[in-house]
Structure 1
Amino acid sequence: MPSPTPSRRTFAAAVAATAAATAGLAATPSAARAQAHESEFRPARLRPSRRPNILFILGDDLGWADLSSYGSPHIETPHLDRLARQGVRFTDAYSGSATCSPTRFSLYTGRYPGRTEGGLAEPIADRSAGLEPTHPTLASLLRDSGYSTALIGKWHCGFLPDHSPTKSGWDEFFGNFSGALEYYSKLSGDGSHDLYEGDAEYKDLRYYTRILTERAGDYVSRDHGGKPWLLNLNFTTPHWPWVADGDEEAGAEIARRIRAGDRRALWHEDGGSIEKYKEMVEDLDRSIGEVLKALRRSGQEDDTLVFFSSDNGGERFSHNWPLAGNKASLQEGGIRVPNIVRWPARIDGGQVSHVPVFTPDWTATLLELAGARRHPAYPLDGVSLAGYLLRGEAAPARDLFWRVRGERALRRGDWKYYRGRSGRDQLFNLAADIREQADRARTEPARLAELKASWERTDATLLPYPG
């Protein structure tokens, strides 16, 4: 895939119509409005800036095409669309894995999940695994370089007493430890209460997204004593159960089932709908808009790098078209996610990039932008995009690698090697076939062999799955 070379504050953007054709965007009014603001080249506005504050926002199980700016035909996300117009929208961005906790491992460590024992859980479902406090993280490395650090929302990288954000570099934590909770009672699947401030339980029976939004707004508005800050804001929206703001009765029924011992109550397999999912995604968008408004009022907007993404592809009510597969799969629908980056002081708005990137790249990028030192004993698997973003360098050319139990995938340029649970090696040209339906394995055997060998070389360096 050709890699455009941007100037100091601009990306080389492709024409919006080409983006729509390549990415399969639906021709909705909201998508058209968003694309109308995306431009090609523009002169750089040079001005000095300090190390950025970092507001890193994750949605939970949000699909690649669930935002109106990414082509959703029925969901309206004006606040995230505005964020995209003010920054860069990535069309070929990926999560570090296909489920919640391994992607979070890849973000916090900048490494493949399979480098650590806790990352082998896909996802963490009990108290036997977690992110070891001795492992350097994005937060610990930024804190060592003078940042204030906080995590608000879903942690999902292990449980107390051995694992927590405050043991892994975050000065402050407010949120939940497990992979999901009921939005009002804060009960997790095993019936335990799962809302904490630091390492102490905290009671608040309001709708969870409202609480996280309020906390995040307070954090970005605070006086940090002149120090730059990192806030990981990890919403659980729109992860199941399908409970929107105002659905107290639905939440109470799920909580009753949890207390009665129903371990699958949170999965809400007998509930939800496309309309309920739309309601939850649009609430996520409004909530992010509130946090961004608080940031603007604080006077820190220009010097704050805001990043938005999802931890993996969409779930059962997500709009994944034209992608195949969904959460837990290494097909495009399971790992391709929205990525939006805005930093007004340094990055021009209205840009679109088709460069393939994935979660560990952003760890490396943020460490470089913050001037943080990497730990030599824990080399990163991500590649910094700072040169591409800010210095006019070519986008990094390398392979993107994924591994989950029963599946493997590797992307190099436009080409993707994939082996699903059938055990059959497949090869797709994503530029021509984003839906992964035209298997080129027979017509391109040498390319298939080359990509497969590259995948196996990387896999040999990772921890094996436990038997």
Structure 2
Amino acid sequence: MSSYENKLSRRAFTGAVGVAAAATAAGLGAAPAQAAGTPSGGPSEREFRASRGRPSRRPNILFILGDDLGWADLSAYGSPHIRTPHLDRLARQGVRFTDAYSGSATCSPTRFSLYTGRYPARTRGGLAEPIADKSVGLEPTHPTLASLLQASGYATALIGKWHAGHLPDHSPTKSGWEEFFGNFGGALEYYSKLGLGGEYDLYEGDAEYKDLRYYTRIITERASEYVSRDHHGRPWLLNLNFTTPHWPWTAEGDTEQSAEIVRRIKAGDRRALWHQDGGSVEKYKEMVEDLDRSVGEVLTALKRSGQEEHTVVVFSSDNGGERFSYNWPLSGNKASLQEGGIRVPNIVRWPARLDGGQVSRVPVFSPDWTATLLEVAGARPHPAYPLDGVSLAGYLLRGERPVERDLFWRVRGERALRRGNWKYYRGKSGRDQLFDLAGDIREQADKAAVEPARLAELRAAWEAVDAGLLPYPA
């Protein structure tokens, strides 16, 4: 057993969890200890302790995604000023990952990696960082988590931010989600629903839907209704993609600020939504705490429905934090492949199968959850579209020892690969760097000169993966 491996406590069960997916083993690398997200007073790590549980059944799946939420923006991850009691409770009831990563450093490529379970650069739409061109998107012919689960009998819905293409060619309803309520683009003004180009961007299915209330309230209501609904015996998948706390920096009740942003949008200011002259640490705190309350409302509705026990809840972020995020001690922010751009909060809860109050230092990233959820739902990946993520089900549920593997990232001008404790990174300077994350989570002590052989090995591994991906357009 490697020094960084930790065991989890899970509930024993009778029978198999559906059909085994093609993905075979769970990933594992090393992780820092206390500095890597185990704040004082947080959940403590447990040794494996099996206990008798209920017979297995295919679970409902609720996957909640924050938008530009930084790794340390939750109090469960060490934020000194933001209070997130509902997400902290979710962490206490399940497993909190200290070394979890997004599939990329910006919005839409990470969504591609989660929706497909593959590196973003496997598809043309995934090369956009993020999508702005309305001619590209997730092709309806490509299998997704939703289409594969739908084919195996699941009801499927996506509520909130899609950001994987635009109408008429690309939509959740063309990619396996039976229901869609939300926005197509990368950002919108929270009250008017105007997007980056000044277009109205709130839809039910593929038709515009008018509601000028604060957006987070609207999708929270919709999600609460969905998890409370009678699905007539079908298990369900709900992707709940909040835009909070993505800019513009307006909380509920900030109607004057909203009106000013709308005025600028209508006057032709294409950068009005970026809100570079607005926001503050306090406003950001207000937005994150509103996200926490909203998640709490949905989880309360789930509990009242009687489905909590047999629902897998996963919470994560689409990339690292933005300008007001609390990222200490990480370096870098959104759009960078430094830790601050890709390391994210990540929690999983499944009361029927996993004991609570646990912390895992196993490195995971977005495509792993696609593979994991397919396996626990008894669905197979499409053989023509092999997954780049690996299932964590064996590690989480069956006590299997995870296998070590590499985590790979590529964005324009940057590259990164993590193997165990070691991270290979090349930023826009073009200089290869090597960091030992076990003792240097901040990526300040470059070991490239003292570990040249390791650097060369990791660089070669990165280049081998990159050779199989689509090139960026010129």
SS of residue paired to 1:180: coil
2:78 alignment counterpart: 71
Write the distance in 2 (CA, Å) between the matches of 1:367 and 1:294.
25
Give the RMSD, CA atoms, in angstroms.
1.3
Which of 27, 31, 35 matches 1:22?
35
Contact preservation (8 Å) 1:6, 1:393: no
Aligned equivalent of 2:158: 151
Match for residue 412 of structure 2?
405
Q: Could you tell me how far apart the structure 1 residues matched to 2:233 and 2:53 are?
A: 23
Give the Cα separation in 1 of the matches to 2:8 and 2:189: 45
- Give me the whole-angstrom Cα distance separating, in 1, the residues matched to 2:363 and 2:45: 18
- Residue by residue over 1:353-404, the C-alpha shift from the partner in whole angstroms, topping out at 9 and shown as x without a partner, is 0000000000000000001121110000000000001111012310000000
- Are 1:9 and 2:11 matched, yes or no? yes
CA contact (8 A) 2:86 2:293 kept: yes
Structure 1 position 360 matched with structure 2 position 355: no
Contact in 2 for aligned 1:142/1:372 (Cα 8 Å):
yes
SS in 2 for 1:230: strand
Equivalent runs, 1:327-366 vs 2, <5 Å: 327-366=334-373
1:312-352 deviation digits (Å, cap 9, x = unpaired):
00000000000000000000000000000000000110000
| Alpha-carbon distance in 2 for matches of 1:285, 1:272 | 19
* Residue equivalent to 1:34: 42
| SS class of match (2:52) | coil
Q: CA deviation at 1:310?
A: 0.2
1:243-322 equivalence runs, <5 A:
243-322=250-329
Aligned to 2:186: 179
Q: Which one-letter code corresponds to 1:152 in the other structure?
A: I
On the 8 A contact 2:32/2:437 being kept in 1, the answer is no
Q: Measure the CA separation in 2 of the matches of 1:32 and 1:430.
A: 20
Structure-1 separation of matches of 2:47 and 2:374: 28
CA distance in 1, matches of 2:374, 2:48: 27
Cα distance per residue 1:240-289 (max 9 Å; x no partner): 00000110111111011101100000000000000000000000000000
1:63-212 aligned within 5 A: 63-212=70-219
Counterpart-to-counterpart distance in 2, 1:174 and 1:125: 20
Aligned to 1:73, the other structure's residue is in SS state coil
Hey, what's the Cα distance between the residues in 2 that align with 1:287 and 1:19?
Answer: 31
Tell me which stretches of 4 or more aligned residues in structure 1 moved more than 2 Å. Answer: 1-10, 18-22, 31-35, 37-47
Unaligned runs of 5+ in 2: 13-30
Measured in 1, the distance between the counterparts of 2:53 and 2:401 equals 19
Tell me the distance in 2 between the aligned counterparts of 1:434 and 1:134.
Answer: 40
CA contact (8 A) 2:8 2:360 kept: no
Q: SS of 1:149's equivalent?
A: strand
Q: Distance in 1 between matches of 2:62 and 2:8?
A: 24
Contact 1:313 1:327 in 2 (8 A): yes
Check conservation: 1:241, 1:266, Cα contact below 8 A. Answer: yes
Deviates more, 1:268-277 or 1:247-256: 247-256
CA contact (8 A) 2:59 2:312 kept: yes
1:28 paired residue number: none
Q: Distance in 2 between matches of 1:287 and 1:38?
A: 28
Name the SS for the 1:306 alignment partner.
strand
The answer (yes or no) to whether the contact 2:33–2:438 under 8 Å persists in 1 is no
SS at match of 2:238: strand
The residue number in structure 2 matching 1:377 is 384
Question: Given that residues 96 and 359 in structure 2 are in contact (C-alpha distance below 8 angstroms), is that contact kept between their aligned partners in structure 1?
Answer: yes
Among the aligned pairs, what percent are the same residue? Answer: 81
The aligned amino acid for 2:432 is D
Q: Residues 9 and 354 of structure 2 are in contact (CA less than 8 Å); yes or no, is this contact kept in structure 1?
A: no
Counterpart residue type for residue 3 of structure 1:
E
Asked if residue 431 in structure 1 is aligned to residue 438 in structure 2, the reply is yes
8 Å CA contact retained: 1:5, 1:393: no
Shift of 1:20: 6.3
Q: Is this contact kept in 2: 1:22–1:431, CA < 8 A?
A: no
Contact 2:68 2:317 in 1 (8 A): yes
Q: Which of structures 1 and 2 has the larger relative contact order (alpha carbons within 8 angstroms, sep 6+)?
A: 2
Of the three residues 379, 386, 390, the one matched with 2:397 is: 390
Please tell me whether the aligned partners of residues 10 and 396 of structure 2 are also in contact (alpha carbons under 8 angstroms). yes
Shift of 1:7: 5.4
- Residue 132 of structure 2 aligns with an amino acid whose one-letter code is A
CA offsets 1:175-216 (integer angstroms, 9 cap, x no match): 000000000000001110000000000000000000000000
Cα shift at 1:23: 1.3
Shift of residue 40, structure 1, vs aligned partner: 4.0
Offset at residue 4 of structure 1 (A)? 2.6
Give the 3-state SS of the residue equivalent to 1:128 in structure 2. coil
Q: 1:221 aligns with which of 217, 221, 228?
A: 228
How far apart, in 2, do the equivalents of 1:402 and 1:289 lie? Answer: 32
Give 2:456's aligned amino acid.
A
1:233 and 2:240 correspond: yes
Distance 2:34 2:392 in 1: 25
- Can you list the C-alpha shifts for 1:130-153, whole angstroms capped at 9, x where unaligned? 000000000000000000000000
Amino acid at match of 1:22: A
Compute the displacement of 1:21 (Å): 2.5
Relative to structure 2, which stretch is displaced further, 246-255 or 110-119?
246-255
Offset of residue 6 of structure 1 = 3.8
Residues 217-252 of structure 1, C-alpha deviation per residue, up to 9 Å, x if partnerless? Answer: 000000000000000000000000000011011111
CA positional deviation for 1:38: 5.0
Q: How many residues align?
A: 454
SS class of match (2:417): strand
SS of the equivalent of 2:408 reads strand
